[in-house]
């Protein structure tokens, strides 16, 4: 096992990476208070310009072939950190929906989707329908 320290920006900016939630993980259960705490952490980081530990993310790395793009993608099978990753994706979508700046919208879209509008986060089956609806606006 390898341990690597990474920023949230670096983690999400990994191009060609899919985040998969395995079937044995629990459903998305974060309530408003959990989301608010994460958002407060993000605001604090942006205001203080300091690093802040936002929890660990544990994953298993798989390499998969993408038939559409004919390239190899990385799949991070999320073992720990699923709730945070899902919440961050939902937050990014909310920002993308509300922000008027087209350049920032495009940048956020690149964090949320692979080329061809394929979502980078693959939730468990029981969360997929609701997640997909939110991500489609």
pTM comes to 0.86
Terminal-residue alpha carbon distance, the chain? 38
Whether residue 129 is contained in a domain is answered as no
What is the extent of the structural domain holding 38?
Answer: 8-122
In a structure prediction context, what are the per-residue pLDDT tens digits for the chain, which is 137 residues long? 677 778 777 888 888 899 999 999 999 999 999 999 988 888 888 888 777 677 789 999 999 887 776 778 899 999 999 999 999 999 999 999 999 999 999 999 989 998 766 899 999 999 999 999 999 87
Whether residue 135 is contained in a domain is answered as no
Q: What are the residues facing 71 on neighbouring strands? A: 66
Whether residue 137 is contained in a domain is answered as no
Whether residue 2 is contained in a domain is answered as no
Whether residue 1 is contained in a domain is answered as no
Residue pointed to by tokens 């949230």: 8
Number of domains in the chain: 1
């Amino acid at each position: 096992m390898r341990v690597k320290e990474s920023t949230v920006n670096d983690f999400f900016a990994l191009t060609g990476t899919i985040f998969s939630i395995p079937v044995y993980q629990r459903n998305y259960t974060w309530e408003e208070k959990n989301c608010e705490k994460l958002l407060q952490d993000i605001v604090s980081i942006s205001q203080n310009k300091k690093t802040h530990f936002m929890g660990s993310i544990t994953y298993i790395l798989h390499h998969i072939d993408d038939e559409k793009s004919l390239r190899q993608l990385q799949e991070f099978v999320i073992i720990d950190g699923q709730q945070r990753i899902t919440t961050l994706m939902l937050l990014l979508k909310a920002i993308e929906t509300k922000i008027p700046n087209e350049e920032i919208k495009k940048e956020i879209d690149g964090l949320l989707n692979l080329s061809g509008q394929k979502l980078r986060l693959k939730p468990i089956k029981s969360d997929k329908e609701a997640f997909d609806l939110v991500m489609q606006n």
